[in-house]
Amino acid sequence: MMEEKVMNRWLVVMGAVMVQMCLGAIYAWSVFTGALQEAGWTAAQTQVVFSVALVSYALSMVGAGFKLNVVGPRKMAILGGLILGTGYIIAGLFGGTNFWMLLIFIGIVGGTGIGVGYVVPIAVGMRWFPDKKGLITGLAVAGFGLGAMLWVKLAGTTGNLIANFGLPTTFVILGVLFAVFVTIGGLFMVFPPEGWLPEGYVPETGEAGSTQVAGVEYGAGEMVKTPQFWMIFFTFAFLASAGLMSIGLMQLYPMEALMNNGMDRASAVAVAGTAMAVFFSIANALGRVAWGSISDILGRKNSLIILAFTQGLGVMAFTYMAGTPMLLYIGAALIGFNFGGTLSLFPTLTADTFGSQNVGRNYPLVFLAYGAGALLGPNLGGVMGGMGNFALAFTICGVLCIMGGVLTVLLRPPRRCENVENCAEMEAA
């Protein structure tokens, strides 16, 4: 019998990055807000569309995860791209700058397309790279972050799409690009043949200190009943809260701290802008790949423990660093680096703990913690900032990160109890 020809697995990486770069459109929304405000929108209206897109993204990802194995990754990825592209195209052709049209077709439809496609590259990449799960997941989520920078530049100061063609036409152009490039990348989104393993790879055996039990696969219903799921969920929510709050305040809080230390407003704005646009953003992208690679060496649990404690200390120390330019840059880079790592470690931790075969269905449920963090962190920062106490917001989030680190230290592999005899053995162990 002829041996089945297997696709070069690095083509999967190329396709995954291409898909994720388009789905990263959600984080490019800020490039449109200036033109929308000139068209009569309030700042609050611009944020409503962004928030609705985030919620649609998280919720639709859960539904897509449950259908991934039924529909297939190639069709699911292409479907996500077509939904995303169609949303932007309709918003441009018929919405223009109409609030309700953009809320529906970019916020709801576009956000849904992102959620439908997002989990595909992660699930497919882990199947093809069981030996490099951290690295491949890091590359995929880094593509998501870098895509935002690409679309901001294309629509904004480099490509000048908004300036040259106006906002409606820009939405149409981007919608077409999203649909085309996700479709091309989606063609490579296929699972490897059943039983395939990379040459020379020996599956992990669940060594001490790991959250993995070799060969064990948990369905979504089983997973959410385990204490391990909730430990991972709350750790993710705590780390996401700190990262997302820092993103919201990374410019505003340092400006205040720098001016309190005697810097004039113009200089403070420039220094704070550099901290966010350069140090935080670049470190955020690098952290996704670096922490993924580190976790392939140290293990997901050990890597997350280090990340959680260093993030907690860094976020708390940021209250003392924000008023000095050099320390501000170091603090912004550290927080950004760890926040990027958060988004690459949790997919692989989910796979290690509950099995790689069901990660497409299981990780979206874990990812809901990111939505919880999006509600907690930025709102905490807003309330504390309104009271003139940014430092307390950073301190609270730092403590939450350390609590997440403690939860991770306590994390152990889940154990199935299939019959009374097994239960007795487990209790004795």
What is the average pLDDT score of the chain?
86
C-alpha span between 317 and 384 (Å, rounded): 17
**Domain 220-409 - what CATH class?**
mainly alpha
**E strands, 264-410, where?**
none
Residues in Cβ contact with 421 at an 8 Å cutoff, skipping those fewer than 6 apart:
none
Where does 156-264 have alpha helices with state H? 161-165, 167-186, 220-223, 227-249, 252-260
Give 331-375 pLDDT, tens digit per residue: 999 999 999 999 999 999 999 899 888 888 899 999 999 888 888
Q: Where is average pLDDT lowest: 20-34, 116-130, 360-374, 411-425?
A: 411-425
Task: Spell out the domain ranges in the chain.
Answer: 10-186, 220-409
Residue 388: Cβ within 10 Å count: 9
Residue among 286, 350, 329, 302 at smallest CA distance from 138? 286
Backbone angles phi, psi at 300, to 5 degrees: -65, -45
Output the pTM of the full model: 0.79
pLDDT at 416: 65
Between 3.40.30.10, 3.40.50.1980, 1.20.1250.20, 2.40.70.10, what CATH number should domain 10-186 receive?
1.20.1250.20
Q: 212 pLDDT band (50/70/90 cuts)?
A: low
Q: Which amino acid is at 381?
A: G
Phi-psi region of 417 (alpha: psi -120 to 50; beta: other; left: phi over 0): beta
C-alpha span between 208 and 299 (Å, rounded): 11
Q: Say whether pLDDT at 178 is over 90.
A: yes
Contact 143, 286 (CB under 8 A): no
Kind and range of the H or E run holding 271: helix 265-274
pLDDT at 400: 97
| CATH topology match: 10-186 vs 220-409 | yes
Written as six digits, the tokens of 242 are 């700190």
> Strand, coil or helix: what is 272?
helix
Written as six digits, the tokens of 169 are 């036409």
Give the mean pLDDT of 130-143. 85
Q: Say whether pLDDT at 126 is over 90.
A: no
Q: 421 pLDDT band (50/70/90 cuts)?
A: very low
C-alpha span between 178 and 165 (Å, rounded): 18
C-alpha span between 71 and 77 (Å, rounded): 10
